[in-house]
Amino acid sequence: MNSSALSPPDTVEGDVARALAEDIGSGDVTASLLPDAADIAYLLCKEDAVVCGRPWFDACHRALDPQVRIHWRVAEGDRVPAGTVLATLEGRARALVSAERASLNFMQTLSATATTTAAYVDAVRGTGARILDTRKTIPGLRAAQKYAVRVGGGVNHRHGLFDAVMLKENHVRAAGSITAAIRAARSMHAGLPLIVEVETLAQLAEALHEGCDRILIDDFDPAMRREAVRIAAAVTPRIPLEVSGGVDMTTLRGIAEDGVDFISIGGLTKHVRAIDLSLKLGPPPG
């Protein structure tokens, strides 16, 4: 896995603390029925997946049993087939059971995002287009899901409303024109990346003339999209083009082959179908 995908430790610790507090509350009354003795467990992946979420999984178990030993058989970002034992654990039985659901919730959700992202990345391979995420994330898990997008081979868009300026229809309407909106953004936020959404080829020409960091061509049909790529390619320095909206596996490859630089897809983080995982006490099969 590329080092750029490394998870921020403070984010992991905060996410895990909230998850365990939510699940355990004043105490795990069911786990108290188990003997507080040493035991082993294994983590099983029941479907094909891209593995993601190891830092969160580890942190859940170590928060309840600092002495737990976790032996990973796969690396973060590995593609595994159904039936793969991902890891074995040695620790206190009660702690293993109490950490089970929170640790699986992180792994199944982040592996789902990484797996979906990898499928989109595979679909545009060889075209030069790169897959972007959006802000359509699970509340409170944005940093985790954006990490999972990177593990799956995608690229992060802006993290929030604070780290890039994105001019859309309402901003252009309020300013009176693309040019006026761009100049106002530069005046107020000179140090931030500037992304401009355009709805016509005339607006594209205006944004190219004024300059920005990326241009989002919104709801262009294929002929308009190809013309936008041709127009943008003739301008120096070259400003990357992004496509968003109306993108799925049936349209993705054609959009990429038109020559755009980025394709942003909310479904990477919004339409999450958890990967089927389980944590079982006892030795792994075989």
Question: What is the pLDDT at residue 150?
Answer: 97
Looking at the fold, whether 106 and 131 belong to one and the same domain comes out as no
Mean pLDDT of the chain: 95
Question: What is the pLDDT at residue 214?
Answer: 98
Query: For residues 98 and 113, what is the distance between their CA atoms, to the nearest angstrom?
Result: 25
Active site residues: 101, 136, 168, 197, 218
Average pLDDT over residues 29-34: 90
- Reduce the DSSP state of residue 248 to 3 states and report it: coil
Looking at the fold, whether 63 and 174 belong to one and the same domain comes out as no
Looking at the fold, whether 116 and 28 belong to one and the same domain comes out as yes
Q: Which CATH number characterizes residue 178's domain?
A: 3.20.20.70
Question: What is the pLDDT at residue 286?
Answer: 78
Q: How far apart are the first and last CA of the chain?
A: 29
- Reduce the DSSP state of residue 280 to 3 states and report it: strand
Question: What is the pLDDT at residue 62?
Answer: 98
Looking at the fold, whether 40 and 161 belong to one and the same domain comes out as no
Looking at the fold, whether 144 and 263 belong to one and the same domain comes out as yes
Q: What is the pLDDT of residues 239-267, one digit of tens each?
A: 999 999 889 999 999 999 999 999 999 99
Residue 283 pLDDT > 90: yes
Question: What is the pLDDT at residue 178?
Answer: 97
Helix, strand, coil percentages for the chain (3-state, nearest 5): 45, 20, 40
Average pLDDT over residues 218-228: 94
Average pLDDT over residues 226-245: 96
Average pLDDT over residues 186-213: 97
Q: What percent of the chain has pLDDT over 90?
A: 92
User: CB burial class (10 A; 0-12, 13-18, 19+) of residue 133?
Assistant: buried
Residue 3 pLDDT > 70: no
Q: Which domain holds residue 24?
A: 3-121+272-281
Question: Which of 4-13, 61-70, 84-93, 140-149 is least confident?
Answer: 4-13
150 Cβ contact partners less than 8 Å away, ≥ 6 residues apart: 2, 4, 5, 156
**Residue 171: closest CA among 180, 162, 160:** 180
Q: Which CATH number characterizes residue 89's domain?
A: 3.90.1170.20
Residue 55 pLDDT > 70: yes
Following DSSP, what letter does each residue of 185-220 receive, concatenated?
Answer: HHHH-TTS-EEEEESSHHHHHHHHHH--SEEEEES-
Residue 2 pLDDT > 60: no
Question: What is the pLDDT at residue 267?
Answer: 95
Average pLDDT over residues 51-60: 98
Question: What is the pLDDT at residue 4?
Answer: 61
Looking at the fold, whether 84 and 135 belong to one and the same domain comes out as no
User: Does the residue 191 lie in any domain?
Assistant: yes
Average pLDDT over residues 169-182: 96
Following DSSP, what letter does each residue of 83-128 receive, concatenated?
Answer: TEEEEEEEEEHHHHHHHHHHHHHHHHHHHHHHHHHHHHHHHTTTSS
Looking at the fold, whether 101 and 181 belong to one and the same domain comes out as no
**Residue 50, strand partner residues:** 79
User: Does the residue 286 lie in any domain?
Assistant: no
Band of the pLDDT at 6, cuts 50, 70, 90? confident
In this structure, how many other beta carbons lie within 10 angstroms of the beta carbon of residue 238?
11
Query: For residues 80 and 39, what is the distance between their CA atoms, to the nearest angstrom?
Result: 26
User: Does the residue 18 lie in any domain?
Assistant: yes
Query: For residues 149 and 53, what is the distance between their CA atoms, to the nearest angstrom?
Result: 11
Looking at the fold, whether 134 and 236 belong to one and the same domain comes out as yes
Question: What is the pLDDT at residue 1?
Answer: 54
Looking at the fold, whether 7 and 112 belong to one and the same domain comes out as yes
pTM for this prediction = 0.94
Angle, alpha carbons 203-159-178 (nearest 5°): 15
In the chain, the number of structural domains is 2
